[in-house]
Copies of this chain bind each other. A is one copy, B any other.
Amino acid sequence: MPTINIEQPVLSRNDRLAASLRERFAASGTFVVNVLSSPGSGKTTTILATNERLRAMGFTSAVIEGDIASDVDALACKDAGIPAVQINTGGLCHLEGNMIAQAVDALEAGVGLENIDVIFIENVGNLVCPVDFDLGEDLSVMILSVPEGDDKPLKYPGIFQHAGALLLNKVDVASAFDFDMPKYNQVLDDLNPGAARFEVSARHGSGMDAWCAWLRSQIEEKAKQC
Protein backbone atom coordinates (compact mmCIF):
# COMPACT_ATOMS: atom_id res chain seq x y z
CA MET A 1 0.00 0.00 0.00
CA PRO A 2 1.44 3.42 -0.86
CA THR A 3 1.92 5.51 2.28
CA ILE A 4 2.13 9.27 2.41
CA ASN A 5 3.84 10.24 5.64
CA ILE A 6 2.91 13.88 6.22
CA GLU A 7 4.77 14.28 9.51
CA GLN A 8 8.23 13.34 8.28
CA PRO A 9 8.88 15.92 5.52
CA VAL A 10 7.54 18.82 7.64
CA LEU A 11 9.76 17.91 10.56
CA SER A 12 12.79 17.29 8.34
CA ARG A 13 12.37 20.69 6.73
CA ASN A 14 12.15 22.23 10.19
CA ASP A 15 15.21 20.27 11.32
CA ARG A 16 17.21 21.63 8.36
CA LEU A 17 16.09 25.17 9.23
CA ALA A 18 17.00 24.62 12.88
CA ALA A 19 20.48 23.38 11.94
CA SER A 20 21.03 26.47 9.80
CA LEU A 21 19.79 28.73 12.62
CA ARG A 22 22.14 26.96 15.03
CA GLU A 23 25.11 27.69 12.71
CA ARG A 24 24.05 31.31 12.48
CA PHE A 25 23.80 31.65 16.28
CA ALA A 26 27.21 29.97 16.69
CA ALA A 27 28.79 32.40 14.20
CA SER A 28 27.46 35.45 16.06
CA GLY A 29 28.14 33.92 19.49
CA THR A 30 24.47 34.22 20.47
CA PHE A 31 22.98 31.92 23.11
CA VAL A 32 19.34 31.07 22.40
CA VAL A 33 16.73 30.06 24.99
CA ASN A 34 13.38 28.55 23.92
CA VAL A 35 10.89 29.40 26.68
CA LEU A 36 7.96 26.99 27.02
CA SER A 37 4.90 26.93 29.30
CA SER A 38 1.11 26.99 29.51
CA PRO A 39 -0.62 30.31 28.86
CA GLY A 40 -0.19 32.54 31.89
CA SER A 41 2.66 30.74 33.69
CA GLY A 42 4.83 33.85 33.58
CA LYS A 43 7.03 33.50 30.50
CA THR A 44 7.22 37.24 29.78
CA THR A 45 7.73 38.19 33.44
CA THR A 46 10.49 35.58 33.74
CA ILE A 47 12.20 36.81 30.57
CA LEU A 48 12.07 40.44 31.77
CA ALA A 49 13.39 39.57 35.24
CA THR A 50 16.13 37.35 33.74
CA ASN A 51 17.13 40.06 31.27
CA GLU A 52 17.50 42.57 34.11
CA ARG A 53 19.99 40.30 35.88
CA LEU A 54 21.86 39.35 32.68
CA ARG A 55 22.17 43.04 31.81
CA ALA A 56 23.76 43.68 35.21
CA MET A 57 26.28 40.90 34.37
CA GLY A 58 27.12 42.69 31.10
CA PHE A 59 25.08 40.58 28.67
CA THR A 60 22.78 42.02 25.98
CA SER A 61 19.47 40.32 25.20
CA ALA A 62 16.73 40.34 22.57
CA VAL A 63 13.32 38.67 22.55
CA ILE A 64 11.31 36.89 19.86
CA GLU A 65 7.66 36.79 20.94
CA GLY A 66 5.36 34.07 19.60
CA ASP A 67 1.63 34.59 20.00
CA ILE A 68 -1.57 33.50 18.30
CA ALA A 69 -2.55 37.17 18.21
CA SER A 70 -1.68 40.55 19.82
CA ASP A 71 1.64 42.24 20.54
CA VAL A 72 1.25 42.96 24.28
CA ASP A 73 4.32 40.90 25.25
CA ALA A 74 6.61 42.43 22.63
CA LEU A 75 5.50 45.90 23.76
CA ALA A 76 6.31 44.97 27.38
CA CYS A 77 9.83 43.95 26.27
CA LYS A 78 10.34 47.13 24.28
CA ASP A 79 9.17 49.16 27.27
CA ALA A 80 11.93 47.41 29.24
CA GLY A 81 14.48 48.47 26.61
CA ILE A 82 14.92 45.03 25.03
CA PRO A 83 14.90 44.66 21.24
CA ALA A 84 11.82 42.56 20.46
CA VAL A 85 10.27 40.98 17.39
CA GLN A 86 6.65 39.85 17.44
CA ILE A 87 5.54 36.74 15.54
CA ASN A 88 1.78 36.32 15.22
CA THR A 89 1.13 32.71 14.24
CA GLY A 90 -2.43 33.48 13.12
CA GLY A 91 -3.84 30.45 14.91
CA LEU A 92 -0.88 28.06 14.77
CA CYS A 93 -0.21 26.55 18.18
CA HIS A 94 3.62 26.60 18.12
CA LEU A 95 6.61 28.33 16.54
CA GLU A 96 8.57 26.80 13.65
CA GLY A 97 12.06 27.35 12.30
CA ASN A 98 10.98 29.45 9.30
CA MET A 99 9.29 31.97 11.62
CA ILE A 100 12.43 32.22 13.77
CA ALA A 101 14.58 32.71 10.65
CA GLN A 102 12.45 35.73 9.68
CA ALA A 103 12.59 37.14 13.21
CA VAL A 104 16.38 36.70 13.29
CA ASP A 105 16.61 38.55 9.96
CA ALA A 106 14.72 41.42 11.59
CA LEU A 107 17.10 41.44 14.58
CA GLU A 108 20.09 41.31 12.19
CA ALA A 109 18.76 44.30 10.27
CA GLY A 110 18.05 46.12 13.53
CA VAL A 111 20.66 45.86 16.28
CA GLY A 112 22.80 43.23 14.49
CA LEU A 113 23.05 39.63 15.64
CA GLU A 114 26.69 39.96 16.75
CA ASN A 115 25.53 42.56 19.29
CA ILE A 116 23.10 40.15 20.97
CA ASP A 117 24.50 37.75 23.57
CA VAL A 118 21.20 36.05 24.38
CA ILE A 119 17.93 35.64 22.47
CA PHE A 120 14.87 34.52 24.38
CA ILE A 121 12.23 32.89 22.18
CA GLU A 122 8.88 33.06 23.96
CA ASN A 123 6.95 30.21 22.42
CA VAL A 124 3.13 30.03 22.15
CA GLY A 125 1.60 29.05 25.51
CA ASN A 126 1.06 25.33 24.96
CA LEU A 127 2.35 22.22 26.77
CA VAL A 128 2.08 19.91 23.79
CA CYS A 129 2.92 21.00 20.26
CA PRO A 130 6.02 23.27 20.64
CA VAL A 131 8.14 20.29 21.74
CA ASP A 132 8.17 18.85 18.22
CA PHE A 133 9.81 21.88 16.64
CA ASP A 134 13.53 22.52 17.10
CA LEU A 135 14.17 26.28 16.76
CA GLY A 136 17.98 26.09 16.83
CA GLU A 137 18.02 26.88 20.55
CA ASP A 138 20.83 26.04 22.98
CA LEU A 139 18.43 25.53 25.87
CA SER A 140 14.73 24.79 26.34
CA VAL A 141 13.26 26.09 29.58
CA MET A 142 9.94 24.80 30.83
CA ILE A 143 8.10 27.09 33.26
CA LEU A 144 5.35 25.63 35.42
CA SER A 145 3.55 27.94 37.84
CA VAL A 146 2.31 26.81 41.26
CA PRO A 147 -1.40 27.62 40.58
CA GLU A 148 -1.40 25.08 37.71
CA GLY A 149 -0.91 22.18 40.12
CA ASP A 150 1.70 19.55 40.90
CA ASP A 151 0.16 16.95 38.56
CA LYS A 152 1.21 18.64 35.32
CA PRO A 153 4.41 16.61 34.77
CA LEU A 154 2.28 13.44 34.98
CA LYS A 155 -0.25 14.80 32.50
CA TYR A 156 2.11 16.47 30.01
CA PRO A 157 5.27 14.35 30.38
CA GLY A 158 6.73 15.10 26.94
CA ILE A 159 7.54 18.75 27.55
CA PHE A 160 8.97 18.10 31.03
CA GLN A 161 11.25 15.39 29.57
CA HIS A 162 12.33 17.67 26.73
CA ALA A 163 13.44 20.69 28.79
CA GLY A 164 17.03 21.39 29.84
CA ALA A 165 15.89 23.54 32.76
CA LEU A 166 12.67 23.41 34.80
CA LEU A 167 11.46 26.58 36.51
CA LEU A 168 8.67 26.44 39.07
CA ASN A 169 7.25 29.97 39.11
CA LYS A 170 4.88 31.91 41.40
CA VAL A 171 6.21 30.17 44.54
CA ASP A 172 5.31 33.40 46.40
CA VAL A 173 1.62 32.39 46.29
CA ALA A 174 2.24 28.74 47.23
CA SER A 175 0.38 29.10 50.54
CA ALA A 176 -2.89 29.79 48.63
CA PHE A 177 -2.60 26.50 46.72
CA ASP A 178 -2.06 22.90 47.81
CA PHE A 179 0.95 22.27 45.57
CA ASP A 180 2.69 19.08 46.73
CA MET A 181 6.40 19.87 46.23
CA PRO A 182 7.78 16.40 47.10
CA LYS A 183 5.29 14.77 44.71
CA TYR A 184 6.21 17.22 41.94
CA ASN A 185 9.93 16.62 42.43
CA GLN A 186 9.48 12.86 42.60
CA VAL A 187 7.80 12.76 39.18
CA LEU A 188 10.58 14.95 37.73
CA ASP A 189 13.21 12.63 39.25
CA ASP A 190 11.75 9.93 37.02
CA LEU A 191 10.99 12.00 33.92
CA ASN A 192 14.07 14.20 33.66
CA PRO A 193 16.64 13.80 36.44
CA GLY A 194 19.33 15.65 34.46
CA ALA A 195 17.50 18.98 34.06
CA ALA A 196 18.42 21.85 36.37
CA ARG A 197 15.49 22.87 38.62
CA PHE A 198 14.74 26.26 40.15
CA GLU A 199 11.92 27.49 42.36
CA VAL A 200 11.32 31.15 41.59
CA SER A 201 9.03 34.11 41.81
CA ALA A 202 9.82 36.03 38.63
CA ARG A 203 7.60 38.84 39.86
CA HIS A 204 9.07 39.22 43.33
CA GLY A 205 12.60 37.98 42.64
CA SER A 206 13.05 34.96 44.90
CA GLY A 207 15.20 32.26 43.31
CA MET A 208 15.97 34.40 40.25
CA ASP A 209 19.62 34.98 41.15
CA ALA A 210 20.29 31.24 41.37
CA TRP A 211 18.56 30.63 38.03
CA CYS A 212 20.48 33.49 36.35
CA ALA A 213 23.83 32.35 37.79
CA TRP A 214 23.21 28.90 36.31
CA LEU A 215 22.09 30.41 32.98
CA ARG A 216 25.27 32.53 32.93
CA SER A 217 27.36 29.37 33.31
CA GLN A 218 25.57 27.85 30.29
CA ILE A 219 26.12 31.00 28.21
CA GLU A 220 29.83 31.11 29.12
CA GLU A 221 30.21 27.39 28.40
CA LYS A 222 28.90 27.94 24.86
CA ALA A 223 31.12 31.01 24.38
CA LYS A 224 34.18 28.87 25.17
CA GLN A 225 33.15 26.37 22.48
CA CYS A 226 32.50 28.97 19.76
Contact = CB atoms under 8 A, between A and B. Distances in A.
Given A127-B125, A147-B170, A173-B173, A155 B93 contact: no
B158 A72 contact: no
Is chain A's interface secondary structure helix, strand, loop, or mixed overall? loop
A154 interface: yes
Interface string A183-224: 000000000000000000000000000000000000000000
A147 to B, nearest CB: 4
Contact of A72 (B93, B128, B155, B173): B155
Contacts of A176: 172-173, 176
- 10 smallest A-B Cβ distances: which pairs? A40-B148, A93-B128, A147-B147, A70-B154, A38-B39, A38-B38, A173-B176, A40-B149, A70-B155, A39-B127
